[in-house]
Amino acid sequence: MLLVAGATAIHAPAAAAKTKTKKTVPQQAPATPVASSVRFSDFNDVKVFIQELQAKHILDEAAANRFFSEAVHLEKVKQLIKPAPAGKPKNWQAYRSRFIESIRIEKGLRFWEENEATLARAEAEFGIPQEIIVGLIGIETLYGRNTGNFRVADALATLAFDYPETPNKEARQRFFRDELEALLVMAQQSQSDPFAYKGSYAGAIGLPQFMPGSILRYAVDYDRDGKIDLANSPADAIGSVANYLAKHGWKKSIPVAFPAALLLPQDHPSIKEAIDRGLKATFSYDQISAIAGISTRDIPVQISYGLIDLQNGSAPDEFWVGTENFYAITQYNRSYFYAMSVYELGRIIKITKEK
């Protein structure tokens, strides 16, 4: 999850995020930080941030100065975080082909088999279907294969104080400062080294790619060993994903999405208005069925829906009708393509498993 924590406030966790030593998921070798000539001590904002850490009793001045003297400015992170240049139009089928692939299905089956009891427990406790959890972890990191090997402290410090020049630079820097603060809180609570955490160039950690703020708010010790470790414990990853989705609007026992065909021209004002409502399920069944035909009799009529527009480049768009559960997945990553790939990968793995 590139930026799974949409909120920027830092809250105390229900359980401290501690570092484990057990190894249950193969990890990539840590990357050696390549230092630039930039020093964090040269940034005035760093001095203000250190004062904030002192005021919140997270780090004293000496400890904060030691942290920033050890943190490495990573120019590569700045390059990777930049938005892609405008180019080809969005293409769902091209995106889908990158994630709905044989290796992900095979590894998903193995992950499900190895963690079946834990997945069943998470479904019973949180109401999240097992295939959704399996699909999401598969999309995020290929079941732990691609968790990232940047030192999270370096990545977050770089983005918190030297974010690239973009129209939203100020907001993004504030976000990453909050995430850096969350990382330091995690390290303090678990009495661990903040530089020990490895993750993506954006600071996401472990099998489910939680940002530090999301670890504090939503991660759970699901293997009950007294520690939270999303990098090495599949059980903790499973429970944390389930808890996250449950806290972001997942409704037990309702479907996710249905293929649909427009009943009006795509440029009709009613279609445009439905698409423009964005990441919400706000239509009643009667309202959505007036603009989109759904080829199933199994669709519930008492719940809310939204219109999903999957653009296909120069080919016709693909339309689906999504429930609140589809939109809950978009709270993990605010993209229709992402949510649909999670749903489809999980569904295909489930069908394959049941054969």
- Active-site amino acid positions: 140
- 41 secondary structure, DSSP code: G
Residues 190, 194, 195, 198: is their CA dihedral positive or negative? Answer: positive
The total of other beta-carbon atoms located within 10 Å of residue 51's CB is 12
Measure CA of the first residue to CA of the last residue in the chain; give whole Å. Answer: 30
Could you give the 3-state DSSP secondary structure of residue 59? coil
Q: Is 113 exposed, middle or buried (0-12, 13-18, 19+ CB in 10 A)?
A: exposed
Instruction: Give the span between the Cα atoms of 220 and 6, in whole angstroms.
Output: 19
107: how many CB neighbours lie within 10 A of its CB? Answer: 18
Task: Please name which of 331, 310, 329 lies closest in space to residue 319, comparing C-alpha atoms.
Answer: 310
64 SS3 class: helix
Q: Which residues contact 300 (CB under 8 A, 6 or more apart)?
A: 254, 255, 285, 323
Q: Taking the alpha carbons of 183, 189, 193, 197 in that order, is the dihedral positive or negative?
A: negative
In angstroms, what CA-CA distances link 37 with 33, 72, 219? 13, 9, 36
CA–CA dist 73, 50 (Å, integer): 17
